[in-house]
Structure 1
Amino acid sequence: MHRMLPQFDFANRHCDGFSNIVTYHGHGREGDAKALANSDIVLSTYHTISHEASDKESPLWQIKWFRIVLDEAHIIRRMSTKLFKAMKKLCAKFYWCLTGTPVQNSLEDLAALISFIRAAPLDDLHKFRKHVIKPLTKGSENGVENLRQLLDSVCLRRTKQLLNLPEAVFELHPLHFSAREELLYNDTRDKLVKLINKNSLKSKNQKGYLGVFQLQLQLRRLCNHGTFQRASLETDEFDPDQAIALLKKQKIAKCEACAVTITGIQGIEEKRNGSFTVCGHLLCMKCVPRLKSTLKSIDGRDGCFQCSLCPEIVFGNYLVDEECATNSKRGSKNISAWQYFDKEGCSTKVSTIVNDIEHHNTEGKSIIFSCWTRSLDLVGIFLQSRKIPFVRIDGSHSLGQRKWILENYQRDSVVKILLMTTGTGAVGLNLTIANCVYLLEPQWNPMVENQAIARVLRLGQKRNVRVVRYIMKGTVEEASHNKTVG
């Protein structure tokens, strides 16, 4: 199961003797189970399988497959999700998982893969916790040995050294704010700290843990946007995965509306115990309906509200939808990017990265990764002003659009720059035509960066890959980077 259908071309190139290859995806796909069973290879997507989970008549459930192979298998790491349950519903003789990052946030990510491949008895989550996670948490050697034996028996590992891949040359560019940017950064930090402290005093039980996350989120975004950044937030800047990662580090979570402690951070990740708003608030399930009812319509416009917990203007849905968060983030994509920026602003980071691109533009094709669509908007504005051709892929593009954009990027010698969100570009793509990766900001989860780099540094890459990171000195970015490397 692939996430990106363009990758399926590999079957025609490398699978000798398999002449009957069927794509089970999109409108008009083959609905006859017998026809699918008679094919050599059936290619599909995670979204298609998940969508048909409740369709009892789907041919997917009528066939006992010989082998099911999941590419980018870490996508199914959340065991309570509709996607994972749909994949487990498939019946086969053999089950394979392909991934470069089997563990992203916790060992339960690995437990999901073990469960999918039916590696008994540890395919049961309770037994996996008992024999692997709990002993490891307590520092027991039994946990280490159990995990080693498990992986030795079910895992075939291919490192970059074994594959004889080219080298990755890493560059770190520490940057200093301009005087205007530093003034704005310090002023924003001080105001937000005061606001968090004020809210924390409302209840002695409220510690403002997510308030700290929101502070870091705004400051990190400011590191990219500089004085282009307006005072208000946009709804597409909140990343629930990063918030979950922070909560797991702090090992505590509280509802920002009632200050009750939310037990089980895994439950938040699976939307059982709590839910995030698109503007970054964590709410317990009791407060969700109450807060939604208090949303204030802005100027009577449909789908445009003001959050009652912050000055955020919310477009569309108030809560982050786990099943389609990526595709719903850009509800206002038809609005000019300039609406979100101060035209008189400046950004040291974006100016530097565009200068670097101009300097190295003759050396090959490059990819610029950012976790924020707004940051890519700003980079795009700068590239256009320098008349540098580029293409872009983010969560708003359909599979068909992504395929066309990638083909254009690969074939057009004039287009050497690809802008891509990490959530989109870090999964399921082969981008070996590029040999330079620009990481606009450090990630709290280093696996996200590794996945992005792996899109370029993989089988088929013939050149050394240049990886450039940008860090604003004396900011939350530097602190985040130091924790990751330290």
Structure 2
Amino acid sequence: MANEDEFHFPVEPSQQSQDNISESYLVGFVIANIVGLRYYAGRINGREMVRLVREPSNQYDKNAIRVLNMLSFQVGHIERTVAAALSPLIDSDMIVVEGIVPNTRSKSERFKIPCQIHVFAKLEASSAVKSEISRAGLVLISDTDASFGLSEAVVVKEQMGNGDKKSVDKIFKLVDKNVRLQGKMVEAEPPREVIKSDLFAHQKQGLGWLLHREKSGELPPFWEEKDGEFLNILTNYHSDKRPEPLRGGVFADDMGLGKTLTLLSLIAFDRYGNASTSTPTEEPVDVEGDKIEKKGKKRGRGKSIVSGTRKKLKSDDVVGMNASQKTTLIVCPPSVFSAWITQLEEHTVPGSLKMYMYHGGKRTDDVSELMKYDIVLTTYSTLAAEESWEDSPVKKMEWLRIILDEAHTIKNAKAQQSRAVGNLKASRRWAVTGTPIQNGSFDLYSLMAFLRFEPFSIKSYWRSLIQRPLGQGNKKGLSRLQALMGTISLRRTKEMSSIGLPPKTVETCYVELSPEERQVYDHMEGEAKGVVRNLINSGSLMRNYSTVLSIILRLRQLCDDMTLCPPELRSLISSTSVEDVTDKPELLQKLVAVLQDGEDFDCPICISPPTNIIITRCAHIFCRACILQTLQKSKPLCPLCRGSLTESDLYNAPPPPPDTSNTDGEDTKCSTKSSKVSALLSLLIASRQENPNTKSVVFSQFRTMLPLLEIPLKAAGFTILRLDGTMTVTKRTQVIGEFGNPELTGPVVLLASLKACGAGINLTAASRVYLFDPWWNPAVEEQAMDRIHTIGQKQEVKMIRMIARNSIEERVLELQQKKKNLANEAFKRKQKKDKGEVNAEDVIALMSL
């Protein structure tokens, strides 16, 4: 069982939850009884994995540990004496526990079941854990005991070399083989009554795959039927009830391959069934059968968009659809709204599909109103806000299908928006993302939870079967992950498709820092190394989250321009103690302002960009709502350093900077041109000499860097547009439209922040891309680059990464490569050794220690 509050890694927040899991090792196992069976409906029929969940709110026993079967039905509780010994260790994050019921129990004993509780801990904590368990009077069977081989855990069977007749890896290989046998792609044509555009071959094949998965009545992967009973061959769970088919999956095609049109084609089948056999009626009708206008209208938020004429539905046209279910819910970030609306208008016959925008203040609270539409479009944040509403129509609705667009948005399974989408009711579920793995393989767990793909939708099973072997560099973990993704995902890259995109080249331009920049950088890096080395030596690296984050951030800012990191913040580099920062509230605020300027900082609790930022007295930064919720626990602690924390220890961050997008940059404090700025100017001038009408995009993750670039580029005769995260959606749309306007000629440069261009934005007017600074997460960079290299691009695209030589930026590139390797390997069939996840070693590498 995991500690349910999983947090970030200091350098890259979203890694910490994986770090906790992947580095824990089996200490041994305890034999305990599951009691209270008569009070609960959950049943166990043989050797089965069970889920152990802490229940501190139990009124009879504050140490209670619940036992659940694979379908999450409660079976009973772990007996009190064992729970009393293990619960404090679980609550303090010292151990993670997993349960297995062996197949050797007595049939005469009706009121209790023996259970092996396997205890995992980090290597450095294992001796302390052993002594604590022993002090509590429990017998911990470790690998030095003769009876260790009696463990039913996969990890032990692999270690002892005596796996079952059908080991876990044989099971995965068998499933993988079956998928390959069924894996021939069949093209499908969309109904012409709805879709007026021609699909590329890869889109027709994708449509065929989506339809097959939705229509399939097959048993879900890892289930078998034997003598009228159903068995999950991974967990050994038996049931006399046939499990529901897994209607859905992960649609993970590369960005720019037209997933939106493919999904609209899928939705078109809900009304028209098989396009080749359907016949239109004489009158266009709406979803209730009433006549509708042939001309569609487009309204504001919370209103409908009608895409056109429609025929009456014949019952045999509906593909596996419940007549009461006919509406698809599409969930996406706000920036993608306009993309769905544009695609609907461009690719569908006017009036054929009706869309409702469930967003903003004036949205309906009537379920029957939503049922009138083919598509309801909403945002993750809207659903998160309604998670606590009892009367939310979205929660009451029985959706035919839920599509999560940019599904990596829910990579933290504990975030409110992830829980909100997971709790919705639907018969078909799709996670759509070109970057399913952004930080590490644990990103995929939240997709399994949304898809309800048992047993991988249960955290303890995911950890045991996939995460732990992966994190420990075991090649079996990677081959299991590949087989798993093969069963439920479709991924094609641009290289594999035949859409005829013009070529894309990626180059790295190394920039030498000037003598003055080199002196300041080397001095700061030297101090930073000393700070990080001390933190490592004292064992407090993980606790000093903000210190390490801000040190590394400041080094990265110096690589861009010394103006980004003023001298008073450079002096903060050696300030590592809580008291130092707390005594200087004005510097505390400046520290937050610097962190806010960088776009790759997330709240460590929800793994999303923080809202209403709070900084604690221990110099850690959270969303206000996240930290306040954490402090409601019986023992309020800082989630990162575990120091005691109350509401009086929280400070408000300074307000976010105003939208500077309309300034001309004249008032911006500007340094003498940095080496990087000069190098960028030279590259842009060379490109202009080659073709005066080339449009370029310059990406930076530091918002304050954009106005610094504006002044020298304007002075050199470039037309400048700006796009950053402080702008409203309307303003962003206006800037993108202006940039794409063919009448805007001459050397045009769009200065853009990476996150403002991450999704749903088309920048195919550009043919040159400059990444002014490297991002931790290569998936975010690739998303931004694929706004340029996508369907509709007619020119050869050249992308240039700008890297300060002999600096932390070179080491960030190495970290990126490590992540790319994992993301690529997850979708391959070949078995290669896993590179492992990001951990404390990466801090050492980044600081070149």
Q: CA deviation at 1:110?
A: 0.6
The 3 A distance-change label for structure 1 pair 240 and 283 is: farther
Give the conservation status (yes or no) of the 8 Å contact 1:432–1:456: yes
The 3 A distance-change label for structure 1 pair 82 and 200 is: closer
The residue type paired with residue 12 of structure 1 is E
513, 534, 541: which one aligns with 1:177: 513
Q: CA deviation at 1:69?
A: 1.1
Q: CA deviation at 1:38?
A: 1.3
Counterpart position of 1:385: 715
The 3 A distance-change label for structure 1 pair 221 and 432 is: same
Give the conservation status (yes or no) of the 8 Å contact 1:228–1:345: no
Give the conservation status (yes or no) of the 8 Å contact 1:433–1:461: yes
Counterpart position of 2:497: 163
Counterpart position of 2:347: 14
683, 690, 693: which one aligns with 1:356: 683
Residue 315, structure 1, aligned to residue 663, structure 2: no
363, 368, 377: which one aligns with 1:29: 363
Q: CA deviation at 1:257?
A: 7.4
Residues matched between the structures, number: 432
Give the conservation status (yes or no) of the 8 Å contact 1:367–1:434: yes
Counterpart position of 1:264: none
SS of 1:397's partner is coil
Q: CA deviation at 1:27?
A: 3.6
Q: CA deviation at 1:102?
A: 0.8
Q: TM-score, normalised by structure 2?
A: 0.46
SS of 1:20's partner is strand
The 3 A distance-change label for structure 1 pair 219 and 289 is: same
SS of 2:431's partner is strand
State the percentage of identical aligned residues.
28
Distance 1:378 1:275 in 2: 37
Distance 2:630 2:438 in 1: 18
Distance 1:439 1:384 in 2: 19
The residue type paired with residue 408 of structure 1 is E
Counterpart position of 2:644: 286
444, 449, 473: which one aligns with 2:805: 473
Distance 1:15 1:120 in 2: 36
The 3 A distance-change label for structure 1 pair 195 and 147 is: closer
342, 367, 386: which one aligns with 2:697: 367
The CA deviation string for residues 40-60 of structure 1, in whole angstroms up to 9 with x for no partner, is 222222222222222332321
The residue type paired with residue 78 of structure 1 is N
Counterpart position of 1:376: 706
SS of 1:162's partner is coil
Distance 1:257 1:241 in 2: 22
Q: CA deviation at 1:195?
A: 6.4
The CA deviation string for residues 25-80 of structure 1, in whole angstroms up to 9 with x for no partner, is 23433443222211122222222222222233232122211111111110111111
Residue 422, structure 1, aligned to residue 754, structure 2: yes
The 3 A distance-change label for structure 1 pair 115 and 168 is: same
Q: CA deviation at 1:442?
A: 1.5
- What does 1:49-60 align with in structure 2 at a 5 Å threshold? 49-60=383-394
The residue type paired with residue 673 of structure 2 is C
Distance 1:39 1:111 in 2: 31
- Larger RCO (CA under 8 A, 6+ residues apart): 1
The 3 A distance-change label for structure 1 pair 344 and 7 is: closer
Distance 1:417 1:335 in 2: 16
Distance 1:240 1:111 in 2: 25
SS of 1:373's partner is coil
Give the conservation status (yes or no) of the 8 Å contact 1:22–1:43: yes
Provide the alpha-carbon RMSD of the alignment.
Answer: 3.7
The CA deviation string for residues 89-122 of structure 1, in whole angstroms up to 9 with x for no partner, is 2221111111111111122211111211222221
Distance 1:483 1:147 in 2: 21
Q: CA deviation at 1:258?
A: 7.3
Distance 1:99 1:429 in 2: 15
The residue type paired with residue 812 of structure 2 is S
Residue 435, structure 1, aligned to residue 771, structure 2: no
378-387 or 94-103: which moved more? 378-387
Residue 398, structure 1, aligned to residue 737, structure 2: no
SS of 1:315's partner is coil
Give the conservation status (yes or no) of the 8 Å contact 1:175–1:348: yes
- What does 1:254-269 align with in structure 2 at a 5 Å threshold? none
Structure 2: gaps of 5 or more residues: 1-330, 570-589, 605-614, 620-625, 819-849
Counterpart position of 1:188: 524
SS of 1:44's partner is strand
Distance 2:601 2:359 in 1: 31
Residue 446, structure 1, aligned to residue 804, structure 2: no
- What does 1:52-451 align with in structure 2 at a 5 Å threshold? 52-164=386-498, 165-192=501-528, 204-207=538-541, 211-226=547-562, 229-233=565-569, 234=590, 235-238=592-595, 239=598, 241=600, 283-284=641-642, 286-287=644-645, 289=647, 291-292=649-650, 315-316=654-655, 329-330=656-657, 341=669, 343-361=670-688, 362-411=692-741, 413-414=744-745, 416-451=748-783
The 3 A distance-change label for structure 1 pair 410 and 66 is: same
The CA deviation string for residues 170-216 of structure 1, in whole angstroms up to 9 with x for no partner, is 1211111222222222333345556667x869x94545676444332
The residue type paired with residue 28 of structure 1 is K
SS of 1:466's partner is strand
The CA deviation string for residues 384-428 of structure 1, in whole angstroms up to 9 with x for no partner, is 333422222222122222222222222251483222222222233
SS of 1:97's partner is strand
Give the conservation status (yes or no) of the 8 Å contact 1:18–1:40: no
The 3 A distance-change label for structure 1 pair 45 and 416 is: farther
Distance 2:404 2:476 in 1: 30
Distance 1:284 1:376 in 2: 38
Distance 2:810 2:744 in 1: 36
- What does 1:452-471 align with in structure 2 at a 5 Å threshold? 452-471=784-803
The residue type paired with residue 92 of structure 1 is A
Give the conservation status (yes or no) of the 8 Å contact 2:564–2:704: no
Give the conservation status (yes or no) of the 8 Å contact 1:370–1:420: yes
The residue type paired with residue 446 of structure 1 is P
The residue type paired with residue 737 of structure 2 is E
The 3 A distance-change label for structure 1 pair 446 and 19 is: closer
Distance 1:258 1:182 in 2: 32
The CA deviation string for residues 305-353 of structure 1, in whole angstroms up to 9 with x for no partner, is xxxxxxxxx624xxxxxxxxxxxx5368699878874x45331111221
SS of 1:18's partner is strand
Distance 1:194 1:136 in 2: 32
Q: CA deviation at 1:256?
A: 11
Q: TM-score, normalised by structure 1?
A: 0.77
The 3 A distance-change label for structure 1 pair 136 and 334 is: closer
Distance 2:426 2:545 in 1: 45
Give the conservation status (yes or no) of the 8 Å contact 1:184–1:227: no
Q: CA deviation at 1:439?
A: 0.4
Give the conservation status (yes or no) of the 8 Å contact 2:696–2:769: yes
The residue type paired with residue 237 of structure 1 is V
Structure 1: gaps of 5 or more residues: 246-254, 260-266, 277-281, 296-302, 304-313, 317-328
Give the conservation status (yes or no) of the 8 Å contact 1:390–1:418: yes
Distance 2:671 2:437 in 1: 43
463-472 or 396-405: which moved more? 396-405
Q: CA deviation at 1:158?
A: 1.7
SS of 1:74's partner is helix
Distance 1:332 1:21 in 2: 32
Counterpart position of 1:40: 374
